[in-house]
Amino acid sequence: MRLLSARLIVSLVVGVTVVSLCTSYYQVLMLKRGLRRDLQHRAEVLAESLGRNVERDLERDAQSALDRTVQHFANREHLLGLAVYDPQAKPIAVTTSLAALMSTAPGVVGQSLTAGQGADAFLKLGGDPVHIYALPLHRGDEVIGSLAIVHDAGYIHAESLRIWRETFLSALAHVFLIVLITLLIVRWSIAGPIARTAHWMQALRTGRAASARIKPPDMELFRPLAREVATFAESLNTARTAAQIEARLRETSESIWTADRLAVHVRDRLEDGRLFVVSNREPYSHVRRGKTIEVSVPPSGLVTALEPVLRACDGTWVAHGSGDADLETVDRHDRLMVPPDDPRYTLRRVWLSKEEEAGYYYGFANEGLWPLCHIAHTRPIFRAADWKYYREVNQKFADAMVEEMENVARPLVLVQDYHFALLPRIIKQSRPDARVAIFWHIPWPNPEAFRICPWQAELVDGLLGADLIGFHIQAHCTNFLQTVDRIVESRINWEHFSVQRLDHQTAVRPFPISVEFIDDPAQPPPQSAYEERATLLKAHGVEALHMGVGVDRIDYTKGILERFLAVERFLEKYPKYQRNFTFVQIGAPSRTHIKRYHDLQAEVEEEADRINWRFQTDNWKPIILLNRQHSHQEIAPYYRAADLCLVTSLHDGMNLVAKEYVATRRDELGVLILSCFTGAARELQDALQVNPYDIDQTAEAIRTAMEMPPEEKQLRMQRMRKLVREHNVYRWAGNLIAELCAVRLDAAQNGVEKFRAGASVG
């Protein structure tokens, strides 16, 4: 730091000195020019005013008058004197002090006589700088002589020296002040932050920052460096945490899946292959906020599960570019590297028109397939126009995927959800050497229900283009195989749960999806559930001892209305909980372009208002409806503070809210009330399972949860947390991708050879 300060000071001194010298030189030059112009002007004016008098004296041959004139103007305001010359440049009258110096006419006098007009020059007389202005004298048109005005020009040199001296003293003062200020700036704004950063990084290196919660220093002056240091610190903390977790797991002989373990696991199986993921929702979107563009990260367990793999293998994620600033952030190939703060894999965006999005997404996918698969007593709507857009968009995504896989020898493709049922077959036709899997995140209904769809055969055939089809639970796998058996010509192996169709084999497997389970002992324990509950309720103007929570999109499959009726019935049957129990429903608006969802939004609000009007008092109400999108960080306090969590889906593939609630309860308290029609009910056996259509049963479950002994709550929660911890989202991704990597491509070998031959020629 001392060497840096010395270099900085020397550089500043040299720089200020050079700038001062250049500035002074320019000032002196301008001053000289100005003084010379002023002197020339005065000499010219004086010569013009005296010239006529001198001409009269010459005409009259009045030598005495002429002598008086030249002697009268001696030594006035830098004027040294006058001299009058005849046409042959011989002196007629000269100021006494100049007689010896001006006995011979200067060249400028001859110039004026020859040219017949005034002339001037700066020269030296007797070693002193002077200015001489010569004006020709006339009698009519005849030149009868010349008048020379002689000024002392030495004061111009003196003024220049004064400017140089003042500039030197000023530069000296400036250098002193600048050095002083620089030292203070270096000490306060550079040396201080650097020292604090060094201390912080030392704490990170030694592991003290995580334990002591040392805050990162303020590095506003080094903003670009600060971003890199923050990223480095986060990576270092993540790596240290991962290493500590791995060490703890080895110590306890546990095999818990982590993001790092998943990355290593998949990298070993991919070898030189690459992973390609396609989904409707993108992992990162860019949205405009005023004049700036911000990165938005949609809450998604899928991103949590697949990002470690994509980062590890330089993968590619293909998704719909839905952000209003997405187009401004991609290159000419519609690609960009993500995550923004630490780019590791490629995001390829596909653009859809409003008509395509309305027909493919809102129409066929969410007004047709969604209600068809959930069997939630909402009639599916199938339109030929929507089906046309669904096929076109699937083809558009397939084209983008094939383009991304060009020149990749061993691609693995993981297709996500019911938006892309046709995609596996299209990709397989273009790249038979690619291993293709699709994970169906929603339930698969029984064959009789699925036969409602007019394009059932095309959908099933599209799915059977995959090498691996994943569902949440075994029952959905069975339903799918039964549907295949009824709809298309194929051979089903019930022992191995696979389908043989068109010389292609498809495996059908259950992969129960889960959530990230963060159990970092270094994290400080949260405040008690009681304190956090009081804080949350007070923020909504409610006072209550107990709280329940529900977290859902506003969707008719989630059983929100049935949940409200159960809360109402619970308060009817057990009035002692009135003014003591409040249920908080976090409900994010969803798919409001669809009329059924728009109407449901109004129904939910009306039902909450009706129940509140019936029971509420001045400082209490039974239902708080939070009708907006919430982040995981905003939801977590409600999970931690709630006495119970109500998950009353009428039909659900898995329902990750149930697992999120369990994963969040580090205090091992709280009760989960879970619909028996969710996939999670197969795993979370210690939840209080209910039929959400049975309002009284759900109301009784609420009472049971409220009056359950703490020991039983803890035992149930411990068992559920152990299951979620061991079967987390990383294990789901690892099993799914490992199964896909193990797929044999016997029927596609010809395609492999053709592809490799073409790649080698290219």
Residue spans per domain, the chain? 16-158, 220-254, 273-510, 529-726
Residue that wins the pLDDT comparison between 189 and 666: 666
Neighbour-count burial of 240, counting CB atoms closer than 10 A to its CB (0-12 exposed, 13-18 middle, 19+ buried): middle
Give, rounded to a whole angstrom, the gap between the first and last alpha carbons of the chain. Answer: 56
pLDDT (tens digit, 9 = 90+) per residue, 575-607? 999 999 999 999 988 888 889 999 999 999 999
Q: Which residue has the higher pLDDT, 757 or 739?
A: 739
Structure-model confidence comparison of residues 420 and 125, the more confident one: 420
Q: Which residues pair with 295 in a beta bridge?
A: 286
Name the most confidently modeled range: 54-63, 263-272, 539-548: 539-548
pLDDT at 205: 60
Per-residue confidence (pLDDT) for residue 229, from 0 to 100: 61
Which pLDDT band, with edges at 50, 70 and 90, does 50 fall under? confident
- Res 303: pLDDT: 84
> Whole-angstrom Cα distance, residue 592 to residue 583?
24
Q: Label residues 719-758 b or e (16+ Cβ within 10 Å = b).
A: ebbebbbebbbbbbbbbbbebbbebebeebeebbeebeee
pTM of the entire structure?
A: 0.70
Q: Chain-wide mean pLDDT for the chain?
A: 86
* pLDDT bucket at 629, cuts 50 / 70 / 90: confident
For residue 113, name the pLDDT band (cuts at 50, 70, 90).
confident
Mean pLDDT of 97-103: 80
Q: What is the mean pLDDT of residues 468-473?
A: 97
Confidence of residue 521 (pLDDT cuts 50, 70, 90): low
Looking at residue 523, what is its pLDDT? 63
Q: Is the pLDDT of residue 407 over 70?
A: yes
pLDDT value, residue 219: 55
Q: Per-residue pLDDT tens for 717-736?
A: 999 999 999 999 999 999 99
Segment 154-162 shows an average pLDDT of 83
Predicted confidence band of residue 518 (pLDDT cuts 50, 70, 90): confident
Give the per-residue pLDDT at 247.
47
Least confident of 56-65, 240-249, 478-487: 240-249
CATH architecture of 273-510: 3-Layer(aba) Sandwich (3.40)
| Strand residues in 290-434 grouped as ranges (E) | 292-296, 316-320, 335-338, 345-350, 411-416
Range in 37-46, 344-353, 457-466, 519-528 with the lowest mean pLDDT: 519-528
C-alpha 590/C-alpha 588 separation (Å) is 6
Judged against a pLDDT cut of 80, whether residue 182 lies above it is answered with no
Indicate the CATH number for domain 529-726: 3.40.50.2000
Output the pLDDT for position 201. 65
Alpha helices in 496-594 (DSSP H): 529-539, 560-573
Nearest to 555 by CA among 595, 601, 593: 601
Fold category of 16-158 in CATH? Beta-Lactamase (3.30.450)
pLDDT given at position 14: 79
Per-residue pLDDT at 150: 87
Percent of the chain with pLDDT over 90: 52
Alpha helix segments (H runs only) across 274-346: 301-312
Positive/negative CA dihedral, 286, 289, 292, 297: negative
The pLDDT of residue 347: 96
Split at pLDDT 50, 70, 90, the class of 204 is low
Domains 273-510 and 529-726 are alike in CATH topology = yes
Pick the residue with more confidence: 644 or 158?
644
For the ranges 32-46, 297-311, 358-372, the maximum mean pLDDT occurs at 358-372
Q: Could you tell me the two tokens for 646?
A: 């109500």
CA distance 760 to 762: 5
Question: How much is the pLDDT for 90?
Answer: 87
Residue 673 has pLDDT above 60, yes or no: yes
